[in-house]
Structure 1
Amino acid sequence: MAPIYPAFAVNKSDHLKVSDIHSIYYEDCGNPDGVPIVYLHGGPGGGIDDSDRQFFDPKHYRSILFDQRSCGKSTPSASLVANTTWDLVSDIEALRTHLGISRWIVFGGSWGSTLSLAYSQKHPDKALGLILRGIFTLRREELEWFYQKGADMVFADYSEAYKAPIPEEERGDMMAAYYKRLTGDDEEVKLKCAGAWSTWENSASKLLVDRAYIQRSENPKWALEFARIESHFFVNGGWMYEGQLIAEASKIAHLPIVIIQGRYDMVCPAKTSWDLYKALGGEGNQNVSYRVLGGCGHSAHERGVEEALVDACEEFKRLRK
């Protein structure tokens, strides 16, 4: 198991205008002549961190990272206008074309795995392969497990603060109740709900609760982008039919795919990754590798998950542009 690479600088960063109102921030890193790999961050609305590029060997890979619409350094901040799964898929293609890349490896975890699947199923000819972690496909049962009833049975103490901003009579649909407040006109309520929503998710993201990780939610800009954009995507079902990404998995079954799953992932439980693996052909498909990590939760930045992701990138070095 290999550790992440030491920190290294970005070769180039810039903004790409992708619509009348949206510009996305991107970073071009590593070997300019290397095998291209695109990193799709979580959330939606989470943005990229400097440590995210450290999964990729800078001598081998040309790694491309970007902040999805309206989060991180992309503009405008926290906007829900023209911000859907398919807008983001279009942005990935626009960025690939802008950078002159013919095909690339698609790398994503959590919401990033959702977007990786949506993009590669729409553009299978542009993907060299996929490295996926903590699979999330936006099925209603997945959303309800974490935001309605399921994970609160494990994180009962933290769930009280998540439920607190919502009156008892509206708790039958927590996502809708939060969305109403996060898109309302009361700025104080909006920020309070953004903090509670994002704190809840950060609390459950690692096998062992990480208080420093939770503190990200104290940044009001980050919390508002994260909570508003997530709730917007979730109440709209990602603008996909129920179960679409599992049902259409055959479109990418010919590609090399590694699926990495924390056994004790409370945000995106293992059932979803198992369903995807079976839809891709399971043991009968030699292109697909399914790896469950004992002693790991959801976050990409738990040591066991980090090492498994780096190992997958090492294995993919056999691929060429």
Structure 2
Amino acid sequence: MAPIYPAFAVNNSGHLQVSDGLHSIYYEDCGRSTGTPILFLHGGPGGGIEDSDRQYFDPSHYRSILFDQRGCGKSSPPASIEDNTTWHLVSDIEALREHLNIEKWIVFGGSWGSTLTLAYSEKYPERCLGLIMRGIFTLRREELEWFYQKGADMLFPDYFEPYKAMIPAEERGDMMKAYYKRLTGDNEELRLKCASAWSTWENATSKLVVDPAYIAKADDPKWALAFARIENHFFVNGGWMRDGQLIEEAYKIKHLPIIIVQGRYDVVCPAKTSWELYKALGGKENNNVEYIIIDDVGHSAHEVKVEQALVDAADRFKSIKA
């Protein structure tokens, strides 16, 4: 399996205004300017792109496009939840495609990025050449409650305890709702403490083996606030979708070439969801879809075997022509 590609520079970058004087999204245009377009969708929601994200894609073949979603990274305003929904982001993807004069592209996303990949491709299948997805997350209530309420805490009780401790006992019946009250409240000190606790819980559980350096990302208050505030905002609102919508509407993309990469011991987005998506896409009866489960990894894209599987998937999609 191939390692990620050596670091390479951005060709062009800029900001695209996507709402009436409010949101401006930052984007990067990388690799071969005449290459097959491939769009990278970052996780969270609320995360943001990193320099290493473009290294899944061979710069001699792909024109890779990356952007910070509303409120994230270099997009502005930071940590904003106003006019920030799944469907605003889907519209932003279309606006960016048109802005860059791209007719069709491969869409690549992991975790929340897989959610957005599904939402976009099911609305605009004619704009997609193929899909590469990792750590499937479809924003169903059962998925959210497993991680933020009860389930994952049985595997990581020591890391769940500080997350739980931020909320008074009488409000713990709905942890996401209780966090929302604080992450959107007027008490700045409490808002930042809750953002750190929320983000630390997720970072601690993202790899098969707990990585202190990964947890330390939550020490950056700007990053933690955007990550926690936007993520929680999407979750308490159910992504502005009916529960189960993305799997129910998977039939719309069954004709596309699709590769799904899943960690066996993914605690954040357990394999059950990716398996249900795979079956909704036709499973073994659909030769367009491949399901790859990696037995000794967790959720993070930054585990070596996951990186290698994603690079291999992108390399195999080189046969797809724009």
TM-score band by shorter chain is over 0.9
Output the amino acid matched with 1:265: D
Partner of 2:52: 51
* Cα distance in 1 for residues equivalent to 2:213 and 2:8: 23
Mapping 1:155-194, distance limit 5 Å: 155-194=156-195
Aligned to 2:297: 296
How far 1:37 moved relative to its partner?
A: 0.2
Map of 1:306 onto structure 2: 307
Deviations 1:66-87 (A, max 9, x none): 0000110000001111000000
C-alpha distance after superposition, 1:269-309 (max 9, x if no partner): 00000000000000000000000001010000100000000
Task: Tell me which amino acid in the other structure corresponds to 2:43.
Answer: G
**Distance in 1 separating the partners of 2:235 and 2:204:** 19
Secondary structure of 2:63's partner? Answer: strand
How far off its partner does 1:96 sit?
Answer: 0.2
Give the C-alpha shift of residue 14 in structure 1. Answer: 0.4
In structure 2, C-alpha distance between the alignment counterparts of 1:67 and 1:282, rounded to whole Å: 32
- Percent identity reads 74
Q: How far did residue 97 of structure 1 move?
A: 0.2
Q: SS of the counterpart of 2:170? A: helix
C-alpha distance in 2, partners of 1:129/1:144? 31
Cα deviation, 1:185-239, whole Å, max 9, x if unaligned, reads 0000000000000000000000010100111100000000000000000000000
CA distance in 2, matches of 1:242, 1:142: 10
Unpaired segments ≥5 residues, structure 2: none
2:18 corresponds to 1:18: yes
Deviating runs (4+, > 2 A) in structure 1?
Answer: none
1:84-163 maps to which residues of 2 (within 5 A)? Answer: 84-163=85-164
* Structure 1 residue 123: Cα displacement: 0.1
Q: Show the 5 A alignment for 1:186-225.
A: 186-225=187-226
Name the TM-score, length of structure 2 as normaliser. Answer: 0.99
Alpha-carbon offset, residue 45 of structure 1:
0.5
Residue 47 of structure 1 deviates from its aligned partner by 0.3
CA deviation digits over 1:124-149, x for unaligned, max 9? 00000000000000000000000000
Aligned counterparts of 1:162 and 1:52: Cα–Cα separation in 2: 28
Distance in 2 (alpha carbons) for counterparts of 1:210 and 1:57: 28
Partner of residue 2, structure 1? 2
The match for 1:66 is: 67
TM-score with structure 1 setting the length = 1.00
- CA deviation profile, 1:29-87 (whole Å, cap 9, x unmatched): 00000000000000000000000000000000000000000110000001111000000
Any residues of structure 2 matched to 1:233-248 within 5 Å, and which?
Answer: 233-248=234-249
Q: Which amino acid aligns with 2:232?
A: S
CA distance in 2, matches of 1:144, 1:72: 27
1:100 & 1:299 partners in 2: Cα distance? 32
CA distance in 1 between partners of 2:302 and 2:289 (Å) = 23
Q: Distance in 2 between matches of 1:139 and 1:259?
A: 18
Q: Distance in 2 between matches of 1:71 and 1:121?
A: 24
> 2-side partners of 1:172 and 1:245: how far apart?
27
User: In the aligned structure 2, how far is the partner of 1:42 from the partner of 1:209?
Assistant: 19
Q: Aligned partners of 1:215, 1:49: CA distance in 2, in Å? A: 16
AA of the residue aligned to 1:17: Q
In structure 1, C-alpha distance between the alignment counterparts of 2:311 and 2:39, rounded to whole Å: 14
Residues of 2 paired with 1:257 and 1:50: CA distance?
25
One-letter code aligned to 1:107: F
3-state SS, counterpart of residue 198 of structure 1: helix
Runs of at least 5 residues in structure 1 that lack an aligned partner in the other structure: none
- Alignment-mate amino acid for residue 207 of structure 2: K
